[in-house]
Amino acid sequence: MTRKPEFKILPMSEEHIPEVARLEIECFSVPWSPRMLRDAISSPTGVYLAAVSDNGVLGYIGADFVLDTGYITNIAVAPGMRRRGIGAALLSALTREAAERNLKYLTLEVRRGNLPAISLYSSRGFKKTGERPGYYKNPDEDADIMTAEIQSF
């Protein structure tokens, strides 16, 4: 049985950017650049959290909080660390932050074929509320829009 890693969820800072940028390359076909990540964490509407262990950044989540809705931009977990509760912990931490700021909804796009991610989001109360044809590139794929009410957490 694989041991669950010990980690803390922290606000993402400049020191995390190099490792998060590497995660972007590992996890996404169109990764964000270090500059894009710096801009995101310095945005007044941005909320970015990192799962950090003694070995470095294991994953991260980011969102823009606008009015009563949090728009999740990215969630990534290092490929070798998946299915160990890191993604769920990041999503829970972001949800707590959204609740503290009195948001009503969290929403995101997910690749239609990303069944592990869809399963995680569904287990946290997200429901399909729409779709975006051709949203993803490399490879081309449609996105499902999933939304959750904060109270459902």
Quote the CA–CA distance of 118 and 138 in Å, as a whole number: 19
Q: Is residue 70 part of a domain?
A: yes
Q: Is residue 25 part of a domain?
A: yes
Predicted TM-score of the model (pTM): 0.91
Contact 72, 94 (CB under 8 A): yes
**Which pLDDT does position 151 carry in this prediction?**
74
CATH code, 102: 3.40.630.30
Q: Is residue 79 part of a domain?
A: yes
Q: Which residues contact 38 (CB under 8 A, 6 or more apart)?
A: 14, 17
Q: Is residue 27 part of a domain?
A: yes
Q: Is residue 1 part of a domain?
A: no
Q: Is residue 37 part of a domain?
A: yes
Quote the CA–CA distance of 69 and 66 in Å, as a whole number: 6
For the chain, the C-alpha Rg in angstroms (whole number) is 15
User: What are the respective helix, strand and coil percentages of the chain, to the nearest 5?
Assistant: 35, 40, 25
Q: Which residues contact 82 (CB under 8 A, 6 or more apart)?
A: 116
What's the count of helices (H) and strands (E) in the chain, helices before strands?
4, 7
**Which pLDDT does position 3 carry in this prediction?**
64
Q: Is residue 3 part of a domain?
A: no
Number of compact structural domains in the chain: 1
Range of the domain at 34: 8-152
Q: Is residue 113 part of a domain?
A: yes
Cis peptide before 11 (omega within 30 of 0): no
**Which pLDDT does position 126 carry in this prediction?**
96
Tens-level pLDDT at each residue, the chain (153 residues): 456 779 999 999 999 999 999 999 999 989 999 999 999 999 999 999 999 999 899 999 999 999 999 999 999 999 999 999 999 999 999 999 999 999 999 999 999 999 999 999 999 999 999 999 999 888 899 999 999 999 744
Contact 69, 102 (CB under 8 A): no
